[in-house]
Amino acid sequence: MGRRVLVQRKGRGTTQWRSPVHKKIAPARHPKWAPEKTYVGTIVRLVHEAGRGAPLAEIRYEGEPKLHYIVAPEGAQIGQSIECGEDATLANGNTLILEYIPEGTPIYNIEQSPGDGGKYVRASGLTATIVSTDKTKSMVRLPSGRQKAFSPRCRATIGIVAGGGRTEKPLLKAGTVWHLTRGKARKWPIVRGAAMNACSHPHGGGSHQSPGRPTTVSRHAPPGRKVGNIAARRTGRKSK
């Protein structure tokens, strides 16, 4: 009897596939405070979190005993003053509501709905741009080039996410990739099924590295066979 295929081992949900939460520091979110009030804080330190490309800024707000964490902007420094609220100044690292941010301003960590803490544009080196704002919506150009409408009451941080150019550095060693994927609870390396023996994978075996049969399988295929193009509507190259 052959070994279980990768998707079966993932579905079991052991510690190998779970996120290493013991390495996490804190969620990087906008504070859950009243937006009409402006809060002032100071960056205490810049920290690295496993599995996250951008550094985090640890902030202590005035009158708040608890530390807060945000995705650090490019150019952030220890001791820098940070403001959050409607009356915050238009400066790097400050958090404002979209309707108070001028058009063309670079922003990141944009809320999907008012008060959720930030969902969009959080990876290292990314930034978005406000295209237009009216009473009903704010149009934002995302890093992909797509324009998306947000509520004018959603919050965003001014600036560019720190850590730009991270992916341009070559990894050089296989061990570096292993540690990188380890922090994200991903398995690496992954062996192709066609390179395995017939007893180890449905695509394995044969004189050449070829599945030897159509790779489209039913949505209701049993575990161990459910590999390849699962419930594909079509296969092959589209004709123009």
Kindly report the CATH class assigned to 22-166: mainly beta
Average pLDDT, the chain: 92
**101 touches 130 (CB < 8 A):** yes
Angle at 131 between CA 129 and CA 137, to 5 degrees: 110
Per-residue pLDDT of the chain (240 residues; tens, 9 = 90+): 567 898 888 888 888 888 888 889 999 999 887 767 889 999 999 999 998 999 999 999 998 889 999 999 999 999 999 999 888 999 999 999 999 999 999 999 999 999 999 999 999 999 999 999 998 999 999 999 999 999 999 999 999 999 999 999 999 999 999 999 988 888 889 999 999 999 999 999 999 999 988 999 999 999 889 999 999 998 888 877
pTM of the model: 0.83
Contacts of 122 (CB under 8 A, 6+ apart): 28, 54, 71, 108, 109, 161
> What residue segments make up the domains of the chain, in order of their start?
22-166, 168-230
Topology annotation, domain 168-230: Ribosomal protein L2; domain 3 (4.10.950)
3-state secondary structure of 42: strand
The token duo for 87 is 């009356």
Work out whether strand 81-84 and strand 39-47 pair parallel, antiparallel, or are unpaired: antiparallel
pLDDT (tens digit per residue) in 40-52? 999 999 999 998 9
What are 53-69's pLDDT values in tens digits? 999 999 999 988 899 99
Q: 158 and 93 in contact (C-beta within 8 Å)?
A: yes
